[in-house]
Structure 1
Amino acid sequence: MDSSGILSGRVLLVGPPDYDNSVGEVLDEHSWECIQAHSMGEALWRLRNETGIDVVVIRPGPRLGMYTELCRHLKLGHSRSFVSVLVVLEPDSGHLRAEVFEAGADDCIQMPAPRNEILLRLLNAVRIKRATDSLEDATAVITALANAIEGKDAYTCGHVERVAMYSAQIGRQVGVEGDAMTALKTGAMVHDIGKVVVPDQVLNKPGRLTDEEMDVIRRHPAAGYDILRPLRTFKDVLPVVRWHHERPNGTGYPDGLKGDDLPLLPRIVAVADCFDALSTDRPYRPALALSECWDILSRSARVGDLDPDLTDRLFEIVGHERELAVV
């Protein structure tokens, strides 16, 4: 907050030193901290070495191409953490708005603009940054909890990371991207969070589970859903957590979804989850050979326990990785 109680932030102002300084004047007026960078290289250096930058304001002047490239670098993660990007356009550059947004800018403002509008755009950029930080913090907490729960089961060390990796690889093969890919990877990381309700003696039982114990195990998808449902930032993850044990033929749990009622993301995680369970040691048996995994997964796909196309995609991915390992 500044002295007037208005939200404020730390801004990296990028652009030629002789360019219109309306944004800088607004920053000074409201006592925002401002760092200057006069080139793309200097901006990237500061973003890698400075902490606490909330907003990057790009004033490209006539060299728009160079600074749209800077936008792309920022959105590819070439900074210590997420930053909001606000691009300032010259008076006759309104036709370039689409190019700016395509490059990854969060907002743009065309000059000349009233000072109050400049301030509002800056405030909005800071809010985007803070909201993203909150989401990342919440994700880190939930992921840590998921890993702690995984630690209850000595036989599943690394399971969620592998399921997330396989899920992301399958997802890329079938065109999952953007927010959906984020939901897929996060959902895979926390898909078993509901196992907090499962007693250790059931999770780690070396022999076959009784019917009553299986009923306890089957509670974990709905329990995970109930844990995450109050958190708005996990809204898109809930289908993965609740439905990763549903089956396309309707024999899964907890809701018995069938066919097209079962969304793509939980279908993907189901394939990845089953493969990792088969190919790693479990309390009741050692890891199966890859050929045995394929036989079991292929049979499951044929009878509708798993999505056949997604199962084939996993075969291609793991088979290719094995070829690379041999080379």
Structure 2
Amino acid sequence: MVLKSNYTGSTERVTSGSNPSETINDIGSNKALGLQKAQTYSLGLSKQDLMVEKVEAISSWTNQKADSGHESLVSRKQHAESQVDIFDGDTPKILVVDDHAASRMTSVALLAMEGYEIIEADSGFSAIELIAHSSPDLILLDVMMPEMDGFEVCQRIKQNEQTRLIPVIFITALNDRHSRIRGIEVGADDFLTKPFDRLELAARVKSLVRQKRLNEDLDHAEKVLFSIARAIESRDPNTGDHCERLIQLGKAFGEYLKLSRNEIRDLMWGGNLHDIGKVGIPDAILLKQGKLTDEEWKTMRLHVLIGEQICQPLRSTRGVIPIIRHHHERWDGSGYPDGLKGDEIPKLAQIFQIIDIYDALTSERPYKKAYTSEEALSTMEEETKRGWRNPELMKKFADFIRSWQSNPEIKSN
């Protein structure tokens, strides 16, 4: 069924649900009662903000829904004149989830007056379905709902890679401490209590929508970088799954060293991004089978600087940049690009370099066979004696590899 709203002027589609007649009892079938209810749920509004004609329209709109029979609204989009900044012309989309029609309509009315596009769901199952194909910018979620409550809805949202960045605001009672704690555990981003204050609702929604879009921009930029890195790897068929192996080995060795969560993440990202600067190296040099000339070698060394420049603008890659720039430094200062010595070399760059060399030695290349684990460790220990590696770190790595190789459970985690 398609209805025309007096309030928004937009087309609404009734898709499923139960009896909405409770709306009449809660909001009222006449304009005076509708005005009274709207004022009750809009604490802090000035008489200029809550315009009588809009409240009258809400009441008329409510009556239309009551006359629609035994179908309740699950998905309805609304547009109103913008009362706030609409984010560079791209109207944010808000999903309001509440099985109680009166409470849902209060949220809808206040948000629509702020200029947001509104989608509604009257159950957790309907919400999950709508999220999948509507991609809302924020979800206003009631806690207590039958069959699937707000906690389960939020948990599903936050565990899904495609929806985890959508902010969720839980609607709770004023002193519902248990719901707030449980909400934090399942990943809620904020909480609001009933009755709503319009200014607080608008401020919280606007802030979280802005944060969500910033996070999406960062997420998109990171995916672009990883795609570039994978494309570079695919240009050289000799390296195989080098990046993926570095990610797994970096995670395992980082955990062995008891590094922090962020340091382990940076090591893993380093597996993808350490050679991203090779995108700026000509194929004639990058893919050359024979020995590089001195001039070609100078060009090849530039890849660490190019990689640093590519990743520098992203704050999320700051921890990876030392790995990108310095993973070819040597303990005695004979490496590049800066000739750093000893602990002048960033810790994660030292760790990553050892992982990188080990994987290169144990992988088959056109110019060499794959070394066994012990052959690779022996070669690296010889290089450590020549001053190329951190002796203490090299010993820890050798101990780790031997225990890692002998324990299948460690390798599979």
- TM-score, scaled to structure 1: 0.79
Q: Per the alignment, do residues 155 and 168 of structure 1 end up closer, same or farther by CA in structure 2, a change over 3 Å counting?
A: same
SS of corresponding position for 1:188: helix
Confirm or deny that 1:201 pairs with 2:284.
yes
Given that 1:294 and 1:315 are in contact with CA atoms closer than 8 Å, whether structure 2 keeps it comes out as no
Confirm or deny that 1:305 pairs with 2:305.
no
Given that 2:111 and 2:118 are in contact with CA atoms closer than 8 Å, whether structure 1 keeps it comes out as yes
Q: Per the alignment, do residues 257 and 57 of structure 1 end up closer, same or farther by CA in structure 2, a change over 3 Å counting?
A: farther
Given that 2:138 and 2:167 are in contact with CA atoms closer than 8 Å, whether structure 1 keeps it comes out as yes
- CA-to-partner distance for each residue in 1:278-310, whole Å, 9 max, x for gaps? 122334223223332232244456656153334
What is the deviation of 1:189?
0.8
Code of the aligned partner of 1:10: K
- TM-score, scaled to structure 2: 0.65
Confirm or deny that 1:26 pairs with 2:113.
no
What is the deviation of 1:119?
1.6
Given that 1:44 and 1:78 are in contact with CA atoms closer than 8 Å, whether structure 2 keeps it comes out as no
- CA-to-partner distance for each residue in 1:79-121, whole Å, 9 max, x for gaps? 5553222223321136865654454222233444421211221
Match of 2:270 in 1: 187
After superposition, where does 1:1-327 map in structure 2 within 5 Å? 3-4=81-82, 5-7=85-87, 8-17=91-100, 20-21=103-104, 22-29=106-113, 30-36=115-121, 38-39=123-124, 43-44=127-128, 46-47=130-131, 49-61=132-144, 67-68=150-151, 70-77=153-160, 79-80=162-163, 82-93=165-176, 97=180, 100-176=183-259, 179-248=262-331, 250-300=333-383, 305=389, 307-308=393-394, 309-310=396-397, 312-321=399-408
**CA RMSD, Structure 1 to Structure 2 (Å):** 3.6
CA distance in 2, matches of 1:61, 1:185: 40
Q: Per the alignment, do residues 58 and 180 of structure 1 end up closer, same or farther by CA in structure 2, a change over 3 Å counting?
A: farther
Bigger mean CA deviation after superposition, 19-28 or 108-117: 19-28
Answer 1 or 2: higher relative contact order, Cα 8 Å, separation at least 6: 1
CA distance in 2, matches of 1:86, 1:198: 48
Given that 2:311 and 2:321 are in contact with CA atoms closer than 8 Å, whether structure 1 keeps it comes out as yes
Larger helix proportion, structure 1 or 2?
1
- CA-to-partner distance for each residue in 1:159-197, whole Å, 9 max, x for gaps? 223222322333344445655444433332111011234
CA distance in 2, matches of 1:101, 1:263: 36
- CA-to-partner distance for each residue in 1:227-260, whole Å, 9 max, x for gaps? 2223445333322211222345544322334444
Gaps of 5+ in 2: 1-78
Q: Per the alignment, do residues 24 and 263 of structure 1 end up closer, same or farther by CA in structure 2, a change over 3 Å counting?
A: farther
Bigger mean CA deviation after superposition, 141-150 or 209-218: 209-218
SS of corresponding position for 1:155: coil
Given that 1:244 and 1:266 are in contact with CA atoms closer than 8 Å, whether structure 2 keeps it comes out as yes
Match of 2:53 in 1: none
Q: Per the alignment, do residues 206 and 266 of structure 1 end up closer, same or farther by CA in structure 2, a change over 3 Å counting?
A: same
Given that 1:13 and 1:36 are in contact with CA atoms closer than 8 Å, whether structure 2 keeps it comes out as yes
- Paired residues, number: 322
Bigger mean CA deviation after superposition, 70-79 or 235-244: 70-79
Code of the aligned partner of 1:116: L
Given that 1:246 and 1:253 are in contact with CA atoms closer than 8 Å, whether structure 2 keeps it comes out as yes
SS of corresponding position for 2:321: helix
Structure 1 or 2, whichever has the larger Rg, is: 2
CA distance in 2, matches of 1:101, 1:248: 46
What is the deviation of 1:71?
4.0
Code of the aligned partner of 1:236: G
CA distance in 2, matches of 1:301, 1:37: 65
What is the deviation of 1:316?
3.6
What is the deviation of 1:321?
4.2
